[in-house]
Amino acid sequence: MEEFVYVNGKKMRKGYTTGSCATAASVAAAHLLLTEEECEEVCVVSPVDREIRIPIETIERVDAKTAIVAVKKDGGDDADATHGMLIYSKVTLREDNCITIEGGEGVGRVTQEGLLVDVGKPAINPKPRKMIEDNVRKIIGETNGADVIIFAPEGYEVAKQTMNRNLGIIGGISILGTTGIVTPMSEDSWKAAISIELEMKKKQGFKKIILSPGNYGEDFALNKMSLNQDYIVSMSNFVGYVLKEVQRIGFEEVLMIGHLGKLVKVSAGIFSTHSKDADARAEILVANLALMGMPVADLERVSKCNTTEAAGDIISETGYEAVYQVIADKIKFRSEKLLKYREPKLKAEVVLFSSKTGLLASTKPIKELMEEWR
């Protein structure tokens, strides 16, 4: 597959999803059983009616009714945990015309309500499941049937690099793909996964949610504040997007817990906190410290710091720790202002910390927050 997209002026190759891999492997296995021909590549039709040509890695005929085929996942130039792993399909012909699709080794199982797949079922999403069935049906015809088992021996280990555990998917990877194509550097799938997790929490009855930019925030919430892990969702750098999703889905309260170096940007109205979008940490600290009266010489020292931890040493040395409360209050103000003209009204609270100092500030007394969110 050689399709490209330009990202920030750079030419990048597209790839194909785990759903497309599972489909291609199933098609090649079915084709072998019906024709005795071994395919080097197959053409499958995606959920958006696009033809995708996918090479076959290995192909084996077990007996007259069963074949096993592997496809190597190719995510193109996208940073994908599943890139390079083998996705297998074991196809066994049936006596009737039914097609069944099951998950085997390395394909996760759903353990929590709220996803598109029922609890106890393999994590094969509806669109790739239909893609597999439709493409296999084209090969075997209307009068034949097949049992299809999708498996991925590396799936258990690879899944540790994904968000599956957060979604209650245990034991392996998910078979995904709404279009069949992976677009390099696309943040859409990442955002969609966060939205799915939020919707799952809401369906489970949660009325409030804890948002953290990543592992540091989650660790602080669990180990320093002893909060309930079930409330926590990672928002990564997509602060504005996730806040709007939290409101759209209907949560009533949100608690944002994060490192100063990440959330300080939100205090200035920067809601995409990746350094590629904005890195004004020192400038924001300098502006707030200047308003508090910090001497110019010290402001210049802060402005030269590469990290908020280094700036924190100067702030502590000069006695301006009150700036953290100012910043926490501004994060709350900016977040609520972002959602001001939308319904339902969302109440936001904030906890700021640093790796060296620990708790820096919170918009409510920390003991109250710990009590409310346990």
Q: What count of Cα atoms within 13 Å lies in the side-chain half-sphere of residue 130?
A: 11
pTM of the entire structure? 0.71
Residue 187 has pLDDT above 80, yes or no: no
Residue 129: HSE in the Cβ half-sphere, 13 Å Cα cutoff: 15
The DSSP secondary-structure symbol of 39 reads P
65's enclosing H/E stretch is none
- Distance in angstroms (rounded) separating the CA atoms of residues 292 and 345: 32
Domains belonging to the chain, first-starting first, are 4-182 (3.30.2110.10), 188-372 (no CATH)
The whole-chain average pLDDT of the chain stands at 92
Taking 90 as the threshold, does the pLDDT of residue 70 lie above it?
Answer: yes
Q: What is the largest CA-CA distance in the chain?
A: 84
CA 13 vs. chain centroid, Å, equals 21
Predicted local distance difference test score (pLDDT) of residue 8: 54
d(CA 31, CA 38) in angstroms, rounded, equals 8
Q: Is 12 helix (H, G, I), strand (E, B) or coil?
A: strand
What integer pLDDT is reported at residue 114 of this predicted model? 78
Specify the pLDDT at position 9. Answer: 58
Q: What is the mean pLDDT of residues 70-76?
A: 92
